[in-house]
């Protein structure tokens, strides 16, 4: 697989290439995602930390569920239909070690499948992050509500402590954590192949953990490349490359051409990368007995 910088440099040239014919009609979202199962994909991951590359693993879990429209909390009790938001949730799990101690990170993204009042599909509702390592742990939340991004940070570290912040929501808002939902194009195209679009982007909450800078929107660019064949492990896939820029940082993500457009691999300009190991579709919340550890074997997880 080519490096992220090499692919990014070639995207500009792609605009001169004739567009690939449009893919077949997108399958029905509700038929695929409303079957009571989650999509669970495992990844081999390289995560830079403290100036060195660390080996680890990641898991991306996509599943639909109702959340309360007022609280953005999962609905588990009788709730009027008008107060329910049918959402696609992404739980992104990252595990890696640093010397004697390890990191455990999970980012949750809630995206409304079909917003009311004519909004476009997959509007971001809420992003949360938990990060644990041996020094302490951190929780952060950003809710998109009433034209603003409302954030809360609770940190073990004195330099961060407890914070609340608010950012105005621009028309071209993009949340980096939410892009892994957006670029899967589960209900039709978001961008045409070869198209690039400027965005006001909130960097991922994990990037903020690594860099510990002030929360702010950054002018960025989101681009969709043309179909290409890539090798992931020992398998070959037809894929669509996506690229985004966040200030000086660049990231490439390869999405499977075939529905449901799994995330196949990624690279970033900091040296991080990941590639797909395996995918299963199961109601993982029921797989909690000792005998169910066989699913971890199928996913190649330790």
pLDDT in tens, 227-278: 999 999 999 999 999 999 988 899 999 999 999 999 999 999 999 999 999 9
Where does the pLDDT of residue 2 fall: very low under 50, low under 70, confident under 90, or very high at 90 and above? Answer: very low
Provide, rounded to the nearest whole percent, the portion of the chain with pLDDT above 90: 84
Q: How far apart are CA 75 and CA 83, in angstroms?
A: 9
Helix (H, G, I), strand (E, B) or coil at 36: coil
CB 85, CB 122: distance < 8 Å: no
Of 62 and 18, which is predicted with more confidence? 62
Give the separation between CA 182 and CA 173, rounded to whole angstroms: 12
pLDDT confidence of 212, banded at 50, 70, 90? Answer: confident
> Residue written as tokens 């440099």?
9
Q: Which SS3 state, helix, strand or coil, does residue 208 take? A: helix
CA terminus-to-terminus distance, the chain: 25
Average pLDDT over residues 159-170: 94
Per-residue pLDDT, 120: 82
pLDDT given for residue 22 in this prediction: 38
The position carrying tokens 């490359």 is 241
Band of the pLDDT at 35, cuts 50, 70, 90? very high
Rounded alpha-carbon distances, angstroms, from residue 32 to 36, 87, 183, 186, 293: 9, 14, 17, 10, 26
Residue 13 predicted with pLDDT over 90: no
205: domain range? 4-299
- pLDDT on residue 20: 36
Q: Are strands 148-155 and 162-168 parallel, antiparallel or unpaired?
A: antiparallel
Joined together, the tokens standing for residue 46 give 């390289």
Q: Which two tokens mark 90?
A: 């992404």
Q: What is the mean pLDDT of residues 212-219?
A: 91
Token duo for residue 279:
């995918």
Mean pLDDT of the chain: 91
More confident residue, 247 or 192: 192
Q: How many domains does the chain have?
A: 1
Q: What is the C-alpha separation between 69 and 80, in angstroms, rounded?
A: 10
State how far the Cα of 150 lies from the Cα of 172, in Å rounded to an integer: 17
């Amino acid at each position: 697989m080519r490096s992220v910088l090499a692919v990014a440099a070639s995207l500009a040239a792609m605009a001169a290439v004739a567009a690939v014919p449009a893919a077949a009609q997108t399958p029905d979202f509700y038929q695929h995602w409303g079957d009571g199962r989650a999509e669970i994909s495992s990844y081999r991951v390289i995560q830079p930390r403290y100036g060195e590359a660390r080996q680890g693993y990641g898991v991306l879990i996509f599943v639909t569920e109702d959340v309360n429209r007022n609280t953005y909390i999962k609905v588990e009790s009788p709730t009027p239909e008008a107060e329910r938001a049918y959402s696609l949730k992404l739980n992104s799990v990252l595990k890696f070690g640093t010397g004697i101690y390890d990191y455990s990170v999970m980012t949750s993204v809630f995206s409304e499948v079909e917003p009311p009042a004519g909004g476009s599909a997959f509007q971001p509702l809420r992003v949360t992050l938990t990060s644990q390592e041996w020094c302490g742990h951190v929780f952060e939340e950003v809710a998109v509500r009433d034209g603003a991004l409302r954030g809360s940070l609770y940190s073990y570290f004195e330099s961060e402590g407890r914070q609340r912040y608010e950012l105005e929501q621009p028309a071209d808002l993009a949340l980096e954590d939410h892009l892994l939902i957006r670029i899967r194009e589960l209900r039709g195209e978001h961008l045409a192949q070869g198209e690039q679009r400027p965005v006001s982007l909130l960097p991922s909450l994990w990037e903020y953990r690594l860099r510990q800078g002030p929360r702010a929107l950054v002018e960025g660019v989101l681009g969709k490349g043309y179909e290409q064949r890539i090798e992931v492990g020992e398998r070959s896939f037809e894929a669509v490359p996506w690229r985004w820029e966040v200030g000086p940082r660049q990231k490439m993500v390869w999405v499977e051409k075939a529905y449901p457009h799994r995330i196949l691999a990624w690279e970033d300009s900091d040296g991080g990368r990941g590639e797909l190991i395996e995918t299963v579709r199961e109601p993982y919340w029921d797989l909690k007995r000792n005998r169910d550890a066989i699913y971890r074997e199928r996913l190649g997880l330790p």
